[in-house]
Chain A
């Protein structure tokens, strides 16, 4: 059985491990670290220990013959017969990984009749091989046929690495495929690279609502699988006339048919703030519900969408479809103006991908300033009024 091991000869009883223990089970007794019950083997102590006295022993298993596994695969997710942008981001990264491993980059493309037309852009974006399955059952985003196809292909062709976009569909499909293949899956990665020594895929992802970045490996199981957050990796510059090999694959013999889509419709308000380029965000610090109209006014003036903190939703000043943060929407605007948001960690988790954050708060020590590019310390309502006034004056000036 796996376990935490403390080398008592090395341990100096400094207690650093106690502070970082996620389960609160470490203590120092008689100048040595002691493990209590209920250790969850998170490994933080082993990393923290200044003298390298703590290690985790893990049983190695030889379930997979990893030498049989080759190539980097990308799941070419499509919606209404169009390949999603995240797929090109994956191909860009996948190309680097494949070159580092000296192997091929392959895409798996499945869709209804006519999907084969999409293969050319996958080659242009770096794929050497496209495995194509053109069948009506792939017209809709349903997990069962995709699962059956991917599980079959992995069993037969044994890829070393398999990447999915961390879309809602990708995050539903990939775990099924991983569990079927009895391999690991790292969710929502923001950084991938090949370890130059071991050749393993190093997968980095945020955890604890973005408060920690964890780097994860999958040493003895294959494929090494990850879902990758859309929008964080660069799409490649597509090569002119670059081509590859198109391989048609057969539909699996058995596909479960236990889930059916009765109807599909756009959810109107939900997607808008998540995709917003410019956001004006209001926190409880704007003072009262009547000041929301200033927020809307400013947003309209600069062509922005409106987001709010959870406290504002809880106070009933705005509805949930505008909530930004861990339990609301994750946003990635080019510009965010944040008024009266103190910066609760759950809120910050939803805005870490903002390019330029300008925060306005009357408290100079507000946490939000720690991650802002620019700060205005002042009364939010005064700043709002003055800013709206000045913007309008410019508009008037430019019209004359």
Chain B
């Protein structure tokens, strides 16, 4: 079973602040980490490989520094990696990103399954998996929280659909998006870290990947961000006063009013 796992580099913190004076957005510098949902997808792929044989390839579109992320994935059991990196990929929305990834998938080739995290914690769109499947013309299943059985030709899995558990049989090749807590991702092993340093990692720009540049990055993105703002939050919190007994009496009254 050859599996491709798509991973994304995200900031380790979501924290953003609004500068009170200039009213501009400040993002506190933070480290980049693997999108947590992708870590579950990677672990699930490595487990399937250990059970059924085959290979796990990791694929990412990102800045050159994302190479470290792919090396880390290889220390956790992936066999090879492809990084799509080019300034022409910058500013991509989900359509342009999924298009570029579909080209990367074809470059890697020979897969039966593609795993993506259910969503990324910075964009929160959950659109890449289904859009990638559409570009490739293969079926997809979202929000998979259990893989019951897998063979070269089909996969039996459970997905959560608005509180319904659906047991689904999907023929391969297919894209699965993986929910959190499907497994407990492993830590890198010492031998894993060592072999990851020399494991095959290819970096391709738009030319090497053979993508249509007009479909990549900001140029290839139908959507564009008009503005971003930090949402206003109520700052009018009322602190209940008095001693413990009085505060709780007031609290109780508030609760009774709301019930």
Contacts and interface: CB of A to CB of B under 8 A. Distances in A.
12 contacts: A143-B139, A168-B142, A172-B143, A182-B222, A184-B223, A188-B125, A208-B16, A216-B226, A259-B168, A364-B239, A375-B239, A383-B244
B189 interface: no
A326 B90 CA distance: 27
A247 to B, nearest CB: 26
Contact of A261 (B139, B168, B228): B168
Interface in A354-400: 356, 358-360, 364, 369-378, 382-383, 386-387, 390-391, 394
B168 A58 contact: no
The SS class assigned to the B binding surface is: mixed
B73 to A, nearest CB: 20
B154 to A, nearest CB: 9
A91 B244 CA distance: 49
Contacts of B217: 1-2, 41
B90 A211 contact: no
A261 B169 CA distance: 6
B247 to A, nearest CB: 5
A356 B234 CA distance: 11
A113 to B, nearest CB: 21
Interface residues of B, number: 95
Given A1-B217, A175-B134, A211-B14, A22 B168 contact: no
A218 B252 contact: no
A270 B166 CA distance: 14
7 A-B pairs closest in CB distance: A41-B91, A184-B222, A271-B163, A184-B223, A2-B218, A221-B222, A179-B134
A215 B227 contact: yes
A217 B223 contact: yes
A207 interface: yes
Nearest to A269: B163
Given A264-B164, A358-B251, 6 more contacts: A79-B162, A175-B134, A184-B222, A266-B164, A346-B14, A373-B237
A364 B154 CA distance: 56
A178 interface: yes
Interface string A124-143: 00000000000000000101
B161 A185 contact: no
Interface centre among A141, A179, A302, A374 (most CB of B within 10 A): A179
Given A1-B217, A264-B164, A185 B223 contact: yes
A270 B170 contact: no
B172 to A, nearest CB: 9
Contact of A168 (B24, B143, B238, B248): B143
The SS class assigned to the A binding surface is: mixed
Contacts of A167: 162
B98 to A, nearest CB: 6
B91 A2 contact: yes
A360 B252 CA distance: 13
B22 A256 contact: no
Contacts of B170: 258-260
B52 interface: no
Contacts of A237: none
Interface in B174-192: 174, 180-181
Contacts of B27: 19-22, 44
Interface of A: 1-3, 16, 19-24, 37-44, 47-48, 50, 56, 58-59, 61, 79, 141, 143-144, 167-169, 171-176, 178-180, 182-188, 202, 206-221, 256, 258-267, 270-271, 274, 278, 302-303, 320, 326-327, 334-335, 337, 345-346, 349, 352, 356, 358-360, 364, 369-378, 382-383, 386-387, 390-391, 394
B63 A38 contact: yes
A383 to B, nearest CB: 6
Contacts of A39: 87, 90
B234 A175 contact: no
A213 B162 CA distance: 25
A260 to B, nearest CB: 5
B229 A20 contact: no
B104 to A, nearest CB: 16
A54 to B, nearest CB: 12
Interface centre among A16, A173, A212 (most CB of B within 10 A): A212
A168 B141 CA distance: 11
B95 A212 contact: no
A215 B224 CA distance: 9
A382 B244 contact: yes
Contact of B160 (A168, A182, A334, A387): A168
A386 to B, nearest CB: 4
B207 to A, nearest CB: 12
B238 A374 contact: yes
Interface string B123-154: 11111111101110011111100000000000
Contacts of B121: 209, 326
B2 interface: no
B229 A213 contact: yes
Interface in B95-132: 95, 98, 121-131
A58 B245 contact: no
Contacts of B165: 264-267
B169 A302 contact: no
Contacts of A186: 223
Contacts of B88: 1-2
A179 B233 contact: no
B131 A387 contact: no
A41 B26 contact: no
Contact of A43 (B11, B64, B219, B225): B225
B164 A265 contact: yes
B29 interface: yes
A212 to B, nearest CB: 5
A187 B218 contact: no
Contact of B248 (A141, A278, A320, A386): A386
